[in-house]
Amino acid sequence: EPEVTQTPSHQVTQMGQEVILRCVPISNHLYFYWYRQILGQKVEFLVSFYNNEISEKSEIFDDQFSVERPDGSNFTLKIRSTKLEDSAMYFCASLVAAEQYFGPGTRLTVT
Amino acid sequence: GQQVMQIPQYQHVQEGEDFTTYCNSSTTLSNIQWYKQRPGGHPVFLIQLVKSGEVKKQKRLTFQFGEAKKNSSLHITATQTTDVGTYFCAVPLSGNTGKLIFGQGTTLQVKP
C-alpha cells in the first residue's frame, strides 16, 4: 500500500539553526499538508499546499517557516532559525478523497 | 477560529470493557473525521461522517454524528489491548481539501 515517507525520523538542532524536514507524499496525491504535534498535545495544522503554492497557513506558520516542492516528489518544510518551542513532531500528510494520509513524522528537538 | 472539544482526555479501562469518546462543536459541521494514533505513531484515518444522525460501524467501533451535526462519538465495544492509543476527532475546514482542526484527543489505556 502506498504511504507517505518522511526523513529524517529524528533531527536534533541548536537554537538558531536552520532545519529542513523532508516528505515524499503519495505519488498521485495533489494536496499536501504539514502539521505539528508538541509532545502530549493535539495535532496542529501548519500549512496546506496545492498546485505548487500555499493554499492556507495557520498563525503558527510565520516568516520563519517555508515550504517547497523542489521536484515532482519531495515536499519540504524549512524552519529558518529554530526556537526551543519548535521542538515537536512534524507530520506531513497528503490527501485523496477527503482522507489525509499522514507520514510517520520527524521528531525535531531544538536544544 | 473553529474548535472542537473532545472528552474525556484520558480513559483507563479493563480489557473487555466498553469505551466512548465524545466531540462537540459550537457550530454546525459539514462533516467530521476520526483518527487513531498509536503510542509513538502517526494519525491514521478511521472514518468520515457526513450525514445528520449518521451511524457507521467498523467491527467493534461505532461512530455517530449528531442530528444537529454539532457532536460526534466513537464507541468501542469490548476493548482489546490493540485498541490502545489516542483517538482524535478532526474537522476539515474549507471543504474536504482544507486543513484539519483536531480535537484534543482521548488517550485510551487498556489493562489486560
Q: What tens digit of pLDDT does each residue of B38-90 get?
A: 999 999 999 999 999 999 999 999 999 999 999 999 999 999 999 999 999 99
Specify the amino acid at residue B2: Q
CB-based contact, B85 to chain A, within 8 Å: no
Residue A94: phi and psi, rounded to 5, are -130, 160
Identify the residue among B86, B97, B106 best suited for mutation to test binding to A, counting A beta carbons within 10 A and taking the highest: B97
Is the previous residue joined to B43 through a cis bond, with omega within 30 degrees of 0?
no
pLDDT bin (cut points 50, 70, 90) of residue A27 is: confident
Cβ proximity of B103 and B33 under 8 Å: no
pLDDT in tens, B7-48: 999 999 999 999 999 999 989 999 999 999 999 999 999 999
Helix, strand, coil shares, percent, chain A, to 5: 5, 55, 45
- pLDDT higher than threshold 90 for residue A70: no
Q: What is the three-class DSSP state of A49?
A: strand
The grid coordinates listed for A110 are 531544538
How many Cβ pairs closer than 8 A exist between chain A and B? 54
pLDDT bin (cut points 50, 70, 90) of residue A98 is: confident
Using an 8 Å CB-CB cutoff, list chain B residues near A23.
Answer: none
DSSP, res B24? E
pLDDT bin (cut points 50, 70, 90) of residue B3 is: confident
pLDDT bin (cut points 50, 70, 90) of residue A44 is: very high
- pLDDT higher than threshold 90 for residue A99: no
- pLDDT higher than threshold 80 for residue B103: yes
Whole-angstrom Cα distance, residue A107 to residue B107?
20
Closest chain A residue to the Cα of B102, Cα to Cα:
A43
